[in-house]
Amino acid sequence: MAEAVCHEKGSVRTVRYLTAGESHGPALVGIVEGFPAGLAVAAADIDRELARRQGGYGRGGRQTIERDRVRILAGVRHGRTTGAPIALYLENRDHENWREALSPEPPSLPDDLSPEERDRRLRRVWAPRPGHADLAGVLKYGHTDVRDVLERASARETAMRVAIGALARRLLAELGIVVVGQVKALGGVVSRVDLLSLPPEEVRQRTEASAVYTLDPEAEGEMIRRIDEARREGDTLGGVLEVAVWGLPPGVGSYVHWDRKLDARLARAAMSVQAIKGVEIGDGFSLADRRGSEAHDAITYDAERGFVRPTNRAGGIEGGMSNGMPILLRAAKKPIPTLMKNPLPSVDLRTKEPVRAAVERSDVTAVPAALVVLENVIAWEIAAALVETFPADRFDDLRDAVARARERMRG
Ligand X SMILES: C=C(O[C@@H]1CC(C(=O)O)=C[C@@H](OP(=O)(O)O)[C@H]1O)C(=O)O
Give 311's DSSP letter.
-
Asked if residue 107 lies in contact with residue 128, where contact means CB atoms within 8 angstroms, the answer is no
Q: Which stretch binds ligand FMN (CB under 6 A): 165-173, 207-215, 305-313, 368-376?
A: 368-376
C-alpha to C-alpha distance for 96 and 94, rounded to whole angstroms:
5
The candidate with the shortest Cα–Cα distance to 172, out of 267, 243, 78, is 243
Q: Is position 383 an interface residue for ligand X (rule: CB under 6 A)?
A: no
Interior CA angle at 301 toward 298 and 305, to 5°? 115
Q: Shortest distance, CB of residue 152 to ligand X, whole angstroms?
A: 10
Output the DSSP codes for 221-264: HHHHHHHHHHHHTT----EEEEEEEE-PPTT-B-SS-GGG-HHH
Using DSSP, state whether 32 is helix, strand or coil. Answer: strand
| Span 9-38, contacts to ligand X by CB under 6 A | 23
Map residues 262-301 to x or -, x wherever contact with ligand X holds by CB under 6 A: ------------x---------------------------
- Report, in Å, the least distance between residue 337 CB and ligand FMN: 5
Position 274 contacts ligand FMN (CB under 6 A) = yes
Site for ligand FMN in 302-341 (CB under 6 A): 334, 336-338
Minimum CB–partner distance for residue 369 and ligand X (Å): 6
Single out the residue of 297, 219, 237 nearest to residue 60, CA to CA. 237
- Which of 6, 166, 281, 369 forms a contact with ligand FMN (CB under 6 A)? 369
Helices (H), 97-212: 115-121, 134-141, 147-153, 158-174, 200-208
Q: Quick check: 363 binds ligand FMN (CB under 6 A)?
A: yes
Q: Measured from the CB atom, is 39 or 366 closer to ligand FMN? A: 366
Which residues sit at the interface with ligand FMN, rule CB under 6 A?
60, 131-133, 153-155, 158, 273-275, 334, 336-338, 362-363, 366, 369-370, 373
Which residues sit at the interface with ligand X, rule CB under 6 A?
23, 60, 62, 66, 154-156, 159, 274, 360-363
